[in-house]
Amino acid sequence: MIKLRNIDRYIDKRLQRNFILKGIDLDIEEGDFVSIMGPSGAGKSTLLNIIGFLDDANEGEYYFLDEPVHSLNERQKSEYHRSYIGFVFQAYHLIDELTVYENIEMPLLYRKVKGSQRKSMVADMLDRFNIVAKKDLFPNQLSGGQQQLVGVARALIGSPKLILADEPTGNLHSDQSKEIMETFKKLNKEDGVTIIQVTHSDEMASYGDRVINLQDGAVTENNPYEEE
Amino acid sequence: MFRNYIKIALRNLKKDKGYTLINLIGLSMGIGVCLIIFIFLQFHLSFDSFNKKAANIYRVTTSEQGPDGDFRSTGSMEGALAQTLLDEIPEVRASVRASRYGKTLITIGNENFYEENILRTDPSLFDIFTFPFSQGDPKTALSDKSNIVLTKSVAQKYFREQNPIGQEIVFNERNRYIVTGIVEDPPAQSHINFSMVINIPDSLSGRSIMDWNWLRSFHTYVLLDEQASPNDVEAKIPSILEGKMALGNAEFHLQSLTDIHLKSDLGWELFPERIFSINYIYLFSIVGIFILLIACINYVNLATARATTRLKEVGVRKAAGAQQGNLFWQFTGEILLLTFTSAVFSLGLVELLLPYVNKLMDLQLSSIVIWSPLFITGFISFIFLIGIISGTYPAFILSSFKPAEIFKGNGKLLTSEGLRKGLVVFQFSVSMILIISTIIIDQQLTYFQDKNLGLNTEQVLNISLESTKTRELGNVFLEKLANHSNIESVSASGDLPGNSGTTLYLYPFEDQELPMPARYMSIDPQFIKTMEMELIAGTNLTIPNTKSEQISVIVNETVVKEMGWKPDEAINQRLDRFVIIGVVKDFHFESLEQEIRPAVMAPLGDANPDYISARLSPSNISETMDWIRKEWDTVADSYPLQFTFMDDTFESLYRSEERLGILFTVFCIITIIIACLGLFGLMAFMATKRTKEIGIRKVLGASIVDIVTLLSKDFIKLVVLGFVIAIPIAWYATNQWLADFAYRIEVSVDIFAFTGISAILISFFTISWQAIKSALSNPVESLKSE
Ligand SMILES: Nc1ncnc2c1ncn2[C@@H]1O[C@H](COP(=O)(O)OP(=O)(O)O)[C@@H](O)[C@H]1O
Ligand SMILES: [Mg+2]
């Protein structure tokens, strides 16, 4: 599903070139539940952003569903964001001016889903995450854990095939973290959703099938799919 | 989707009330002032176009080299021209002559009144121009020389409920007229104005009006065929007149009716108060554009500065599949919401302010024009355009962020510091140019009022003896005034400074080619004293100046200078048919826009005076006036007293400039308020953004002064830069304006220094408000919020 070959991401500063990612080779198959680990500043977020088309690599090749990503135009990328990829952020990134309900509904608007259908889809999500009572509140009226549940609900509403989660439980206490990890695991096992998450915690990583270690912008460990 | 945008736009606008308010106020005022300027310009630009045949009506003018070598344009034509053009040029469908009959004594029943704006014309007036009748038939109303047509308001004034048709009106106690038609009042947008209309007489002083080479006193209009080319017609005129009149070097022109109001270059107009300078049209258009630009800049600046607070939303929306286009329209939609709300407010503002503008400018501007479907369509597109102009850039900046940059907190990298600074500099330059212009206009107008005129116009009462009867009584009345203790001095004259007057062409030397044009006034011996003019050489006129060969005269300094004499040397010199016996210090007898010309004052002698001037003592003026009125009634019986105070007369020479000056000042103040609002908002935003920094600095020991300096330093630099740019532009523009005035102030460095310092102070206070507020805030609070 995802095939990275010799990916470089760097920043040019005056005379110096700072590599954030260097020579990344990575394959992720449909149905995988992958955890990316590594110290702060290793380039985990950058890698995840590149995978999710939020950022572009400077060098190397990236094939998404066997299509070269550099040949996708903005419209096609948006198309994938709308229907294929869901994002969960460490800082939740809910829109402060929209209510819980409206935040969850928002991706559907870009997918031009009809009003009545939207209503039932959002209602399902609210139900699933037990936040029906909170639907008319604004993000700043919620606790961190509740906000992240909304963030996950928002990521899932489009029934994505791929979920990219950057430290989704980084700001949550363990009960809330477990709840979210259980949700991910269920999605992965029952619906075959591919999940790539960044985490610092072994415990959270253990929900997945596979760990990728990143150190100074390079993959250092564990890639069972590596070709010979 | 759209609902979602509206919702988020409204919530954002509500959340940031200060920001919303600044933009709303700025844009409403900007659009409102623009609308008022639009109404004002529309009024002037569509002058005379109410005439249904306006496109085919032309006024005949000539430009001719005068005896002094200058080219002059005139609209005063020979009486026979109109008929000749109609007879000889097939393209001319109709023609009409018009002349204005000065203030006239009219008698209705046994009451006397003075009436101005009496138009003498031909019956074809009502065929060519669109002046609809409410009573009578336009075709026959002027069929007889004894017919008169009144405007509705004049008929109402004199006849009230009575039917005016068939009533008699007597002019100057001689000429009797019968009312045969009532016409609607000429619109405010007509360059022809009248209260009564009569026929032009067939002859004057026993000589036919239709004689050539005699009388040139009729403005002449022609109605051309729809397909006719005015240039072709124009070219035919000289050959037709060949042999009929002395053409000299005169060139004939056809001036389009709709050009008259703004582009008239005639030395003398029938209704000069209905002529306007096109330069003012340009000036006010520029001011309008600037006001709007400054309001738009506020939006651009505040929106780009605030963009950072919207970045997270951009990132999230993009990750959810929004394309740049979606976001672009979302943000543009927000400004459109703001501009359309402002537009609604601005319409209210126009309704609120227009009456004041009308009062100030003595106009009857109507907001009706802005409620026409065509204007509304245009206005909506215009508001849309403003939204696009000011919204596009911030929307583009915002929507172009890459989500990865945003989430890493690197969003600031792309914001447009440089552009913002540039726009602030622009705003301040424009504001300062306007302030400087306002001050200079004001100084020039004050200068007019305060300048030593060479005579003292205060407390001088000028009584105008309009009719033959009252002129005969002039000397009797003068005697009475002279004996009153509260009247310091009285004199009689045939003309007054401040009137338009007569010009004589003098030939001081036998062989002289070019004449010296001089203003001619006849005065009595008390005139110099009453006007408080200063005799600098020779003697005053004496009473018995019997009909000797040579007329003794007093001249002004300018005559003496032009002749190359010293004042003393001028005494007993001959000047054309005059002998100089005295020289007075130069005095202004025209607007200060004009340079003082030579003036010759000859004795009034036995002639009946046209004016009586009385210098009143400053005490008990109203009592004195009551007494004068009473005396007048005993002497002049039923003739109304016609008087003016001389200082009013002089002031009225600049009234239109003064009014325009005030209007300009008001617009400038509004511009400056809008610019300051923007600066205030920008500063408020900067201060909140740096709350944390300020907190940390305070914890580390920074004083309030340190913080205020930190926050204001950058802005003050911009204001100073704006000032530096403003200086040369303002210098050039104001000197350009002042060049039109013969007597003008020097543009002094003080004004620039004053403007610069006040602009810096105003912006400093605007900035300090915010800076001090954040400097005083509790650091613990601000640090906790992060
Ligand atoms: N746009 C950028 N400019 C400069 N440095 C960057 C930029 N983006 C990321 N970096 C640097 O790249 C490194 C990796 O960043 P990131 O991917 O966020 O690491 P992680 O998520 O593993 O903590 C960090 O040192 C960060 O400072
Ligand atoms: Mg990270």
Q: What is the ipTM of this complex?
A: 0.81
Domain membership of residue A113 (yes or no) is yes
> Are the Cβ atoms of B404 and A94 closer than 8 angstroms?
no
User: Can you tell me the mean pLDDT for B729-747?
Assistant: 87
Give the pLDDT band of residue A221 (cuts 50, 70, 90): low
Residues B634 and B661 occupy one common structural domain: no
Helices (H), B94-164: 125-128, 152-159
**CB-CB contact of B91 with B225 (8 Å):** yes
Residues B85 and B193 occupy one common structural domain: yes
Average pLDDT of chain B? 86
Residues B185 and B324 occupy one common structural domain: no
Domain membership of residue B753 (yes or no) is yes
d(CA B746, CA B435): 17
Mutation site for A-interface testing, chosen from B19, B306, B309, B323 by largest number of A Cβ within 10 Å: B323
**CB-CB contact of B18 with B678 (8 Å):** no
3-state secondary structure of B299: helix
Structure tokens at B72: 């002059």
pLDDT of B247 higher than 80: no
Q: Which residue has the higher pLDDT, A114 or B699?
A: A114
- Name the residue among B356, B341, B351 with its Cα closest to residue B371: B351
**pLDDT at residue B196 in the model:** 95
**CB-CB contact of B317 with B700 (8 Å):** no
Q: Which residue has the higher pLDDT, B55 or B636?
A: B55
pLDDT of A227 higher than 60: no
Which of B9-23, B60-74, B252-266 has the largest mean confidence? B252-266
**CB-CB contact of B611 with B494 (8 Å):** yes
**pLDDT at residue B784 in the model:** 46
**pLDDT at residue B508 in the model:** 79
Nearest CA residue ID for atom 18, ligand 1: A45
**CB-CB contact of B37 with B284 (8 Å):** yes
Nearest CA residue ID for atom 2, ligand 1: A11
Instruction: Write B566-569 long-range contacts (CB < 8 A, 24+).
Output: B567/B536, B567/B537, B567/B538, B568/B537
Domain membership of residue A87 (yes or no) is yes
Residues of B in Cβ contact (< 8 Å) with A54: 315, 318-319, 402-404, 407
DSSP A54: S
Which of A142-146, B178-182, B506-510, B737-741 has the largest mean confidence? B178-182
Cα–Cα distance list, A224 to A3, A28, B772 (Å): 14, 10, 62
- Name the residue among B228, B219, B351, B319 with its Cα closest to residue B272: B219
Domain membership of residue B330 (yes or no) is yes
Instruction: Write B741-748 long-range contacts (CB < 8 A, 24+).
Output: B741/B444, B741/B592, B741/B593, B742/B592, B742/B593, B742/B594, B742/B595, B742/B596, B743/B447, B743/B448, B743/B451, B743/B592, B743/B593, B743/B595, B744/B444, B744/B447, B745/B440, B745/B443, B745/B444, B745/B447, B747/B440
Domain membership of residue B288 (yes or no) is no
Q: Which residue has the higher pLDDT, B406 or A57?
A: A57
DSSP B378: H
Give the pLDDT band of residue B415 (cuts 50, 70, 90): low
Residues B262 and B172 occupy one common structural domain: yes
**pLDDT at residue B712 in the model:** 78
Structure tokens at A175: 């009960």
Question: What domain count does chain A have?
Answer: 1
* C-beta of A56 in contact with ligand 1 (< 6 A): no
**CB-CB contact of A61 with A6 (8 Å):** yes
**pLDDT at residue B344 in the model:** 93
User: Can you tell me the mean pLDDT for B235-239?
Assistant: 90
Give the pLDDT band of residue B785 (cuts 50, 70, 90): very low
Helices (H), B73-200: 81-88, 125-128, 152-159
H or E stretch at B583: strand B578-584
Q: Enumerate residues 6+ apart whose C-beta is below 8 A from B161.
A: none
Structural domain boundaries enclosing B710: 416-453+652-786
Structural domain boundaries enclosing A126: 31-55+74-222
d(CA B661, CA B437): 10
3-state secondary structure of B147: strand
> Are the Cβ atoms of B404 and A55 closer than 8 angstroms?
yes
Which residue on chain A is closest to B323 by alpha carbon? A78
Residues B472 and B525 occupy one common structural domain: yes
Average pLDDT of chain A? 88
User: Can you tell me the mean pLDDT for B685-701?
Assistant: 72
* C-beta of A154 in contact with ligand 1 (< 6 A): no
- Residue ending a domain, among B586, B607, B641, is B641
pLDDT of B549 higher than 70: no
**CB-CB contact of B115 with B196 (8 Å):** yes
**pLDDT at residue B301 in the model:** 83
- Name the residue among B461, B628, B619, B581 with its Cα closest to residue B530: B461
User: Can you tell me the mean pLDDT for B187-195?
Assistant: 93
Mutation site for B-interface testing, chosen from A55, A73, A97, A163 by largest number of B Cβ within 10 Å: A97
Residues B700 and B763 occupy one common structural domain: yes
**CB-CB contact of A85 with A162 (8 Å):** yes
**pLDDT at residue A68 in the model:** 92
- Name the residue among B386, B400, B394, B333 with its Cα closest to residue B2: B333
Domain membership of residue A151 (yes or no) is yes
**pLDDT at residue B413 in the model:** 43
Cα–Cα distance list, B516 to A102, B506, B581, B602, B679 (Å): 87, 5, 19, 17, 59
d(CA B154, CA B136): 15
Domain membership of residue A182 (yes or no) is yes
Determine the distance separating the centroid of ligand 1 and the alpha carbon of A5, expressed in angstroms: 20
Domain membership of residue B208 (yes or no) is yes
Nearest CA residue ID for atom 12, ligand 1: A20
Residues B243 and B181 occupy one common structural domain: yes
Which of A55, A105, A166 lies closest to B402 in CB terms? Answer: A55
Q: Determine the number of helices (DSSP H) and then strands (DSSP E) in chain B.
A: 23, 27
SS3 content of chain A, % helix, strand, coil (to 5): 40, 25, 35
**What percent of chain B clears pLDDT 70, i.e. is strictly above it?**
95
Give the pLDDT band of residue A109 (cuts 50, 70, 90): confident
**pLDDT at residue B153 in the model:** 94
pLDDT of B9 higher than 90: no
pLDDT of B540 higher than 80: yes
Least confident interval from A156-160, A198-202, B2-6, B726-730: B2-6
**pLDDT at residue B441 in the model:** 86
pLDDT of A199 higher than 70: yes
Residues of A in Cβ contact (< 8 Å) with B319: 52, 54, 81, 87
Which ligand is closest in space to the CA of residue A18? 1
With an 8 Å Cβ cutoff, is B721 touching chain A? no
CA atoms within 13 A on the CB side of B446: 7
Determine the distance separating the centroid of ligand 1 and the alpha carbon of A21, expressed in angstroms: 9
Question: What domain count does chain B have?
Answer: 4
Cα–Cα distance list, B392 to B183, B329, B699 (Å): 54, 9, 41
Residues of B in Cβ contact (< 8 Å) with A87: 319-320
User: Can you tell me the mean pLDDT for A13-32?
Assistant: 90
**pLDDT at residue B129 in the model:** 96
With an 8 Å Cβ cutoff, is B8 touching chain A? yes
pLDDT of A210 higher than 60: yes
Residues B32 and B104 occupy one common structural domain: no
**pLDDT at residue B786 in the model:** 35
Give the pLDDT band of residue B73 (cuts 50, 70, 90): confident
**CB-CB contact of B196 with B59 (8 Å):** no
DSSP B549: S
* C-beta of A44 in contact with ligand 1 (< 6 A): yes
**pLDDT at residue A225 in the model:** 46
Measure CA A117 to chain center.
25
Which residue on chain A is closest to B401 by alpha carbon? A54
Residues of A in Cβ contact (< 8 Å) with B313: 95, 97
Domain membership of residue B294 (yes or no) is no
Domain membership of residue A60 (yes or no) is no
What are the residues facing A198 on neighbouring strands?
A36, A166
Residue A144 sits in a domain whose CATH number is 3.40.50.300
**CB-CB contact of B508 with B516 (8 Å):** yes
> Are the Cβ atoms of B15 and A97 closer than 8 angstroms?
yes
pLDDT of B780 higher than 60: no
- Name the residue among B665, B658, B659 with its Cα closest to residue B435: B665
Least confident interval from B97-111, B519-533, B707-721: B707-721
Residues B381 and B427 occupy one common structural domain: no
pLDDT of B702 higher than 80: no
Domain membership of residue B190 (yes or no) is yes
* pTM beyond 0.90: no
